[in-house]
Amino acid sequence: MKTLEELQAIRERMKAKVNNRGVADASDFRIVVGMATCGIAAGARNTLAALTAEVEEKHLDNVIVSQTGCIGICRFEPVVEVFEPGKEKVTYVHVDAERARQIVASHIMNGNPINEYTYSYAVKEN
Amino acid sequence: MKEVTLKINDISVTVPEGTRILDAARQAGFNVPTLCYYKDLCNEGSCRICVVEVKGARSLVASCSAVVAEGMEVYTKTPKVINARKTTLELILSNHNRSCLSCVRSGNCELQKLSQEYGCDDVAYTGDKTAVVPELPNAYLVRDNSKCILCRRCVAMCEKVQSVGVIGANFRGFNTTIGCAFERPLGAVDCVACGQCINVCPVGALTEKDDTDIVVEALNNPEKTVIVGTAPSVRVALGEEFGNAIGTDTEGKMVTALRRIGFDKVFDVNMTADLTIMEEGTEFLSRLQDKNAALPMITSCSPGWIRFIEFNYPELLPHLSSCKSPQQMFGAVIKTYYAEKMHLDPKNIVVVSVMPCTAKKTEIFREDQNASGYPDIDVVLTTRELARLIKRYGIDYNSLANGEFDDPLGKSSTAGYLFGATGGVMEAALRTVYEKVVGEPAPSLDFKAVRGTKGIKSATVDLKGTKVKVGVAHSLSNARQILEDIKAGKCDYQFIEIMTCPGGCVNGGGQPIVSSEKINAGVDVKALRAGAIYKADKKSALRTSHENPVVKTLYAEYFGEPNSHKAHKILHTTYHKRDKM
Amino acid sequence: MLERAHILVCGGTGCTSGNSKKIYDEFTKLLKENNLDKEVKLIMTGCFGLCARGPIVVVYPDGAFYQHVKVEDVQEIVLEHILKGRIVERLLSKEREADGSVKPFNETPFYKSQHRLVLRNCGVINPENIDEYLAYDGYLAYQKVVTEMTPQEVIDVIKASGLRGRGGGGFPTGMKWQFAHNSVADQKYVVCNADEGDPGAFMDRSLLEGDPHSVIEAMMIAGYAIGATKGYIYVRAEYPIAVNRLQIAIQQALDYGILGSNAMGLGHEFNIELRLGAGAFVCGEETALLNSAEGKRGEPRQRPPFPAVKGLFGKPTLINNVETYGNITAIILNGAEWFTQLGTEKSKGTKVFALGGKITNTGLVEIPMGMTLRTIIEEIGGGIPNGKKFKAAQTGGPSGGCIPASLIDTPIDYDNLIAIGSMMGSGGLIVMDEDTCMVDIAKFFLEFTVDESCGKCTPCRIGNKRLYEMLDKITQGKGTMEDLDKMEKLCYYIKENSLCGLGQTAPNPVLSTLRYFRDEYVAHVRDKKCPAGVCKALVSYEIIADKCVGCGLCKRGCPVNAITGEIRQPHVIDPDKCIKCGACIAACRKNAIKK
C-alpha cells in the first residue's frame, strides 16, 4: 500500500529515468560521449556513467546523454561533445569522471564552457 | 401508478407506465402476432414477428419488449411492418419441415396460422436446411428439430419455471438447434418428463409420444379385457379439443366416448385419488406421532416431481410419502382386487390410463409398480391423444349423451376430483385428516388458503389442539425453493403437496395446447380449468374421500385398513437416487 | 543510477510472433556478457504500430528505429551501437532526409501524420512495470477526479469532450456514463469490452498489451463517476499476452493499494476481475458479452432494458470498449477543450485503425478524426504495393461497407462513414486493389457473419444465410437480375429487423458493394464474367498461342495434368480438367496465359 506521497515520489524518480526515451527536442542539450574502442579503453565508460548520474541528480530534464563512435582524435580520448541549440558544439578532451561533473556544473547548468578542457585549447597548448 | 398516453394506429390509449407496446396495442383493438413471446415466460425477442413501426425510431421495434412512452406514435399495420413480418415468416418457412399435412399440430400451429394470415409463399426463399440429429426415442416425448423455429419458449419453461434446465441452444448461427448438453438424448439427462415444453411449443417440434396405436391393438385383441381410467383433470380440458370453452367439464361425454371407443370398462382414477387420501392421510398421522419419522411429509402423486427429487435432492427422499400415485394405485387395484373379484387373469387385463401428463408415461416403467406381477398400468394416453383417438373413430363428441362410470369402481368423491388442481391433494387430505383426528367433520370443507395459482401457498389447520402447518407448491422452481428451505432447516411445514406443473394437473404437459395468442391476451387457463373442478365440488354431495363407498368396500373386502400390510404391498412404493447425466 | 541507454523491444503480438521474445533474451545475455546490464536498460514494450516491419527494436536516446530485427542482429546492435555508439544503419528505415541522412522515425510518413493519444504510452513504457506508467502521469487522473471533482463533474467533462464509443456504434460516452450514474442500485458494475473480434483489428489488444494501466485507471474513474465498486474486463482468451499483462498490472495496482477497498487511500473501493471469452464474434456485442461474462451462452439480450439499467447480473452496468477507456485519463488531465480541438464537429479525438490488406505499411495507426482515407492509405500506409490501383477500402470489420476509390477523399469520422454506407466499427481498415472481386469480397465478409451469428433471431440466422446463398449463386454464374433486387430487399429487411448490431450491420458489405459496384454484380449475372478474375466458376484459363514458346513449364506446374503440348509447340489447357488454381500463370515466363 503506497500513500499518495509515495506514489508521487515514484513518479518523480521514474520521470528522470525514462527521460531519455523519446527523440530529442530541438531545445535540448546533447552530450555525446565517444564510445569507440579507443574511448572505452581510455575510460569513456566511467565518463558516461558520471555524466548520466550527474544529469539525473541535478534533474536536468533538457539534457540528453548519448554516445557516438570514434570521433577521430583517439589520443585525446575520452572525448565528449556538447551540443547547445544555436551554438557551436564544444568538444572536450580527456574527460574523466571529475571533469565530466565539472562540465555539467559549469557549462550545462551555468552556461560557462570550461575552456581549459576543450579540444581547441588542448591543440593550441601542445 | 403513473399512466402514459400514446397512439396506436392513430387511436389514443392510456395505459400504465411500463406496459409493453403489444399490450397497449391490444387495448386499442389491434393484435400484434407473436411467436417467441409468451406472457410471464419468454421474452427473448428472437423471432422478430412482433415488430411495429414507432415514429422516430431508428428501425422497427419489437413490441414484445419495448415499453410505451408518453406521446409515442405506434403503427402496427403499415406496409413496412406487414412486409417485414411476412419476410420473417417466409424465412422461417424456408428452414422449416413443412410436412404440415400430417403434423399433429396442423390446425393448432401458430406458424401455420400466421403464414396463412400473411399470405406467405412457402418457397419464397430456398436453400440449405439446418442439419438436425433425430432425438433418440424415449417413453414420453418426441422432438423433431426440423420443425423447430427456435423461439426458446421450451428453454425458458424448462429453466425458469421448472428449474430443470436440461435443454438449451446448441451450436450457433444457422446450425443452432435446441437440445441437451453434448447432444445427449432427453432420456439420458435429468429431464423430469413434465412435458411443459410441449405445451408452449408454437409448432410441432415437441409432441408427446403417441401411444394410441398400442391401445387400438389391445382393443382389437379379443383375449384382452381393456380397462380405462381417467385422471381428474382430463374431463375439464378434453372438451377444448372439440371446440368447447376453456374450463368446460365434459365428464359425461368423455365417459360415453370411451365406451364407444370400445373399452370394456370405464372407471375413474378419482376413486384411487380417494384411496390415496386414505393411505397418505394415515401415513401422515402416523409420522406426526413418530418422533423419528421424516417431516415434513411430501406428496408423491406427481411423477415429474418424483423424478426431480430423485435427480436433485436424493438426500430428501425419506420425506416423500411412500404412496404410489393414484394412477398406479388404480392399475394395482384393477389387477389385484378387481381381477380376483371378476375372476380375470391379470395377464389378460390391459389397463389404459388417460392422463393430463407425459411423465405418467415414464412412471409406468418404474421399478416396483407391478402389484399383480404384471405392470400396474399398461398404456398411458394423454388428454390430447384421447382426443385424437375420438376424432379418428369418428365420434361426434359434442352430441354425445352423458354417461356414467362403470360399477363397481366408478364411484368417487369430489375430494379425489380436487387432485386435478394445485392444492387439491392437500385440501382433500385435510378434509379427511381433520375428521379422523377431531372426530367430526371440519367446520368448512373449503380450505381456500390452498387454492389458487400463487406459487407457494400455506395454511395452518387447528386439529383441536394440534396445529398442523401445510404447504403447497406447484411448478418445480417453487418446489426447489421449499426443498432448499428443508435442507436449510428453515421449513416449518409438516405436510407439503408438490405438483410438477404450474397450476397442477389441469395444466399438465399432456393437456390440450392453448395458443400463445390467448395466453398473451390474459386468458388464465389454469384458473379456468380449476374453476370447473371447484364448481363440481361445490355441487357435490360426496366431498370427502373416506366417505366414498367404493373406498370403504375396498378396505372392508380387501385391504383391511389403511397402511395395512396388504395395502403396503399393493399401494406403496420406494424411491432411489438417480444420477444426473 | 540513470541508465545511459534504453533498448525497447516490441512485445506486441505481431513482433512476439516474429520472435521478439528471443531477441529480448539475446539482448539480456549479450548485455550481461559485455558488462552493460547496469548501464543499459532493456524493456519489453507494447506495440509500435508498424507491424509490417517487425520485429522492432528502438534504442534511446538516439531514437534508432531498427526494423525486421533478427536474433542474429542483436550482437551487432550491442557491440556496435551500445558499446561503440555506431548506429547499425542497415537495420534502419529506408526513408531518408533530402541530405541522405536517416529520418528520425517520428518524422517518417508512417508516424508523422499520426496523433498518438490513446497509444501514447505504447512502445514507450514497459507495460509490466507500474512505476513506468506512474512516470507518465499514471493514476494522476484518478487522483484528480476523486480529490477535485464530483462524479457528475467527471461525467460532464466526458460529455463536453464529445468522446464517442470506439467499439463501433459511436454512442456518446458521456451519455452512457450518465445513464449508469442515474440508475439507483445497491451494486453497479463497470465493464471493459476487450472482446475484439473484427478480423484484422487489433487496436484493443495493442493497448492492453502496451499500456494496461491506462485502461485500469479509466475504469476506476468510471467507477467513481457512476458509483460502481467492481469492474470486469472481458478479454479474449486468444490474447494471451494481453491477459498476462492485465493480470500483472492488476496485481501491481493491488500491491500499491491503487486498486482495492480503499483505492489510493482516497476512500473509494474499486476492484477488477478478468473474464476470458472463448472467441465468439458476437460476444463483442455488449449484451451478449454480459451473458457470456455471467457464464451463459453468448447471445444478445433484448433491449430494453439497457445495460445501464439492467446489465451484468441484473445490475446497472457501464460497458465501454478498450479504446474508449484509453481516452479517459488524457481527457481528465488535459480537459475536454483540449480534446475537442482534435477531430471533426461531431467526432472528436483520434481513432486507431488496423491497416490491412493490399497496403505497404500494414499495422496500427492512430489518426485524428477527419483525416481523409487518401492520407491514411497513401501517406501513412505507403500506398498499394506492386503498383496496383486502389479499388476500395473496407472499414468497420465484416459488418462495415466498402468505400470505393471515388470517395477516397472522404474525411473519416462516424457520421461520414455511415453516410457512405459503411461504419467506423472497431477500426479495421482493409485496403483492396484492382485484383479484388467485389462480389467475392461481399460473400467473404458475409460468410464470416453467417458463421459468427449466434442464431438467436430469425433475420440474422436465416436471412443472412439466404443472402449468402444468393451471393454464392451469383459467384457461380447462376444468379438472375431478379436476385439482385431480392437481395437488396432482404438486406434492408435484415438491417431493420435483427435483434443486435451483428445482424443489423451484417448486410453492409453486400449493400455497399451493390451500391458502388453494381456493374460487377451485373457482369457476374448477365455476362457470366468475373471482371477481377477471382470467381473460379466464371474464369477460364487459356494459353495465347502466339506468346507460348512451348517451354513446358506450365505443363509441369499443373497439378491435374490439364495442359498438353509438344515441346516448342504452343500448349493447350483442357478446360474440363482445369481447376483454375493459377499455377500455370505463376509458372509461365512469357505471360502467355490469360484468364
- A41 contact C CB<8A: no
Quick one: average pLDDT of C299-308?
Answer: 91
Q: Flag if A53 and C131 touch (Cβ within 8 Å).
A: no
Chain C: residue whose CA lies nearest to B50: C497
pLDDT at A41: 79
Least CB–CB distance from C461: residue in B49, B51, B173? B173
- Among C454, C465, C496, the residue with its CB nearest the CB of B60 is C496
Chains contacting chain B through 3 or more C-beta pairs under 8 A = C
Instruction: Strand C428-433: give its sheet, edge to edge.
Output: C363-368, C350-357, C428-433, C390-395, C402-404
- A31 compared with B11, residue with greater pLDDT: B11
Identity (one letter) of the amino acid at B502? P
**Chain C positions in Cβ-Cβ contact with residue B42 (cut-off 8 Å):** none
Min mean pLDDT across B171-175, B215-219, C281-285, C395-399 is at: C395-399
Q: How many Cβ atoms are within 10 Å of B14's Cβ, its own excluded?
A: 12
Mean pLDDT comparison of A66-80, C49-63, C93-107, highest-scoring range: C49-63
Interface size A-C, in CB pairs within 8 Å, comes to: 109
pLDDT in tens, C148-194: 999 999 999 999 999 999 987 899 999 999 999 999 999 999 999 99
Same fold across B3-77 and B141-212 = no
Identify the pLDDT of residue B450.
95
Express as a percent the part of chain C with pLDDT over 70: 98
Q: Chain C interface, mutation test: which of B20, B83, B91, B115, most C Cβ atoms within 10 Å?
A: B91
Q: Please tell me the distance in Å from A108's CA to the nearest CA on chain C.
A: 17
Interchain contact C48–A (C-beta under 8 A): no
Give contacts of C 264-293 with A, CB under 8 A.
264-266
Q: Is the pLDDT of residue A90 over 60?
A: yes
Q: Is residue B180 within 8 Å of B580, Cβ to Cβ?
A: no
Q: Is the pLDDT of residue C355 over 70?
A: yes
Tell me the ipTM for this assembly.
0.93
pLDDT at B575: 97
For residues C12, C17, C19, C21, the Cα torsion angle rounded to the nearest 10 degrees is 50
For position A26, what pLDDT does the model report?
A: 55
The predicted model gives B115-125 an average pLDDT of 95
Provide the mean pLDDT of chain C. 92
- pLDDT surpasses 80 at B545: yes
Give the type of residue at B491.
Answer: C
Name the closest residue on chain C to residue A55, using Cα atoms. C2
pLDDT over threshold 90, residue B193: yes
Distance from the A75 Cα atom to the nearest Cα atom in chain C, whole angstroms: 16
For residue C459, pLDDT over 60 is answered with yes
Cβ of B172 within 8 Å of Cβ of C493? The answer is no
Dihedral sign, CA of C586, C591, C593, C595?
A: positive
pLDDT for res A22:
58
Residue B92: band (very low, low, confident or very high) from pLDDT cuts 50, 70, 90: very high
pLDDT of A89 reads: 82
Tell me the three state secondary structure of residue B513.
coil
**Does an H or E element contain A90, and which?**
strand A90-92
Reduced to 3 DSSP states, what percent helix, strand and coil does chain B have, rounded to the nearest 5?
Answer: 40, 15, 45
pLDDT digits (tens, 9 = 90+) for C438-451: 999 999 999 999 99
Closest Cα in chain A, distance from residue C60 (Å): 6
Cell digits for B249?
367439464
User: Amino acid identity, residue C508?
Assistant: N
Q: Which of C301, C463, C496 sits opposite B59 (nearest CB)?
A: C496
**Contact indicator for C240, C352 with CB cutoff of 8 Å:** no
Residue C63 has pLDDT above 90, yes or no: no
Q: Mind listing the domains of chain C with CATH numbers?
A: 5-104 (3.40.30.10), 130-339 (3.40.50.11540), 350-433 (3.10.20.600), 438-525 (1.20.1440.230), 540-594 (3.30.70.20)
Q: Given an 8 Å threshold on Cβ–Cβ distance, is A53 in contact with C2?
A: yes
For an interface test with B, which of C496, C498, C505, C508 has the most B Cβ atoms less than 10 Å from its Cβ?
Answer: C496
Residues of B with CB under 8 A from a CB of C: 43-49, 51, 59-60, 62, 64-67, 80, 83-84, 87-88, 91-92, 94-95, 125, 127-128, 149-150, 152, 168-169, 171-176
**Residue bearing the bigger pLDDT, C210 or B510:** B510
d(CA C589, CA C410): 41
- pLDDT tens digits, one per residue of C79-133: 888 887 788 888 987 776 666 666 677 777 888 888 989 999 888 888 889 998 9
What pLDDT shows up at residue C254? Answer: 96
Q: Which residues pair with B471 in a beta bridge?
A: B458, B496
What CATH code would you report for B141-212?
A: 3.30.70.20
Contact (CB, 8 A) for C189 and C228: yes
Residues 6+ positions from C550 with CB-CB distance below 8 Å: C565, C566, C567, C568, C569, C570, C571
Numbers of helices and strands, H then E, in chain B: 20, 17
Taking CA atoms, what residue in B is nearest to C463?
Answer: B91
Q: For residue range B245-271, what is the model confidence (pLDDT) as tens digits? A: 999 999 999 999 999 999 999 999 999
Mean pLDDT of all residues in C514-519: 96
Spatial separation of the C-alpha atoms in residues B428 and B543, rounded to whole Å: 8
Question: First-to-last CA distance in chain A?
Answer: 61
The pLDDT of residue C2: 63
- Over residues C310-314, mean pLDDT: 96
Residues 6+ away with beta carbon under 8 Å from C204: C194, C196, C321, C322, C323, C426
- Average pLDDT of chain B to the nearest whole number: 96
Considering CB atoms only, which of A3, A37, A65 is closest to C4? A65
Q: pLDDT value at position C594?
A: 87
The residues near C111 (Cβ < 8 Å, ≥ 6 apart) are: C49, C50, C105
Residue A56 confidence class, pLDDT cut points 50, 70, 90: confident
- pLDDT: is B385 or C114 the higher one? B385
Q: Which three-class secondary structure state does DSSP give residue C230? A: strand
- Which chain B residues have a beta carbon less than 8 Å from that of C462? 91-92, 94-95, 125, 174
Write down the H helix ranges in C229-356: 240-255, 286-293, 322-334, 336-340
Check CB contact under 8 Å for C302 and B171: no
Hey, what's the cell of B129? 436446411
> For residues B104 and B513, what is the distance between their CA atoms, to the nearest angstrom?
11
Section B283-299 average pLDDT: 94
Sign of the CA dihedral with C521 first, then C527, C528, and C531 last? negative
User: Which residues on adjacent β-strands are paired with residue B493?
Assistant: none
Is the pLDDT at B581 greater than 80? The verdict is no
Pairing assessment for the beta strands C350-357 and C363-368 based on DSSP bridges: antiparallel
Residues of chain C with C-beta less than 8 angstroms from the C-beta of B83: 493
Neighbours of chain C (3+ CB pairs under 8 A): A, B
**pLDDT tens for residues C387-415?**
999 999 999 888 889 999 999 999 999 99
- Taking the C-alpha atoms of residue C219 and residue C217, their distance in angstroms, rounded to an integer, is 5
Helix H, strand E, coil C: the string for C54-85 is: CCCEEEECCCEEECCCCCCHHHHHHHHHHHHC
Tell me the percentage of chain B whose pLDDT exceeds 90.
96
A13: CB partners within 8 A, 6+ apart: C131
The confidence band for A126, taking pLDDT boundaries of 50, 70 and 90, is: low
User: Measured between CA atoms, how close is C468 to chain B, in angstroms?
Assistant: 10
Q: How many CA atoms lie within 13 A of A67 on its CB side?
A: 33
**How far is A125 from chain C, CA to nearest CA, in Å?**
29
With 90 as the cut, is the pLDDT of residue C13 above it?
no
3-state secondary structure string across C281-308 = HHHHCHHHHHHHHCCCCCCCCCCCCCCC
Q: What percent of chain B has pLDDT over 70?
A: 100
| CB-nearest partner of C83 from A13, A15, A35 | A35
Contacts of C136 in chain A (CB under 8 A): 18
SS3 content of chain C, % helix, strand, coil (to 5): 45, 15, 40
Q: According to the model, what pLDDT value does residue B81 have?
A: 97
Average pLDDT rounded to a whole number, residues C192-214? 90
Which of the pair, C41 or B485, is modelled with greater confidence? B485
Chain B residues in contact with C304 by the CB 8 A cut-off are: 65-67
* pTM reported for the whole predicted model: 0.88
Q: Are strands C230-236 and C189-194 parallel, antiparallel or unpaired?
A: parallel
Q: Which three cell numbers stand for residue B498?
A: 408438490
Q: Using CA coordinates, name the residue in chain B closest to C452.
A: B173
Does residue C143 sit at the A interface (CB-CB below 8 Å)?
yes
How far apart, in whole angstroms, are the C-alpha atoms of residue A48 and residue A52? 6
Q: Which residues contact B331 (CB under 8 A, 6 or more apart)?
A: B229, B351, B353, B364, B369, B371, B375, B376, B377, B378
Q: What is the pLDDT of residue A36?
A: 67
- pLDDT for res C168: 79
**Which residue in A has a C-alpha nearest to residue C4's C-alpha?**
A52
Q: What is the DSSP letter of A115?
A: G
- Where are the extended beta strands (E) located within B210-348? 225-230, 265-268, 297-298
Q: Which pLDDT band, with edges at 50, 70 and 90, does A69 fall under?
A: low
CA-based nearest distance A40→chain C, Å:
8
Residue contacts between B and C (CB atoms, under 8 Å): 102
Binary contact (C2, A35; C-beta < 8 A) = no
Q: What's domain B3-77's architecture?
A: Roll (3.10)
Nearest-neighbour CA in chain C from A113: distance (Å) = 23
pLDDT at C1 over 60: no
Nearest to A36 by CA among A96, A77, A91: A77
> According to CATH, what is the number of the domain B213-571?
3.40.50.1780
Domain A24-125 has CATH 2.60.120.640: no
* B45 to chain C: closest CA residue: C302
User: Which of A6, A10, A37, A74 is the best substitution to test chain C (most C C-beta atoms within 10 A)?
Assistant: A10
* Chains C and B physically touch (3 or more Cβ atom pairs below 8 Å): yes
Dist CA C160 CA C139 (whole Å): 22
Residues of C in contact with B179 (CB under 8 A): none
Domain spans in chain B, listed from the N-terminal domain onward: 3-77, 141-212, 213-571
The 3-state DSSP class for residue B440 equals coil
To the nearest 10 degrees (0 to 180), the angle between helices B383-392 and B251-261 is 60
The two counts, helices (H) then strands (E), for chain A are 6, 4
On the question of pLDDT at B411 being above 90, the answer is yes
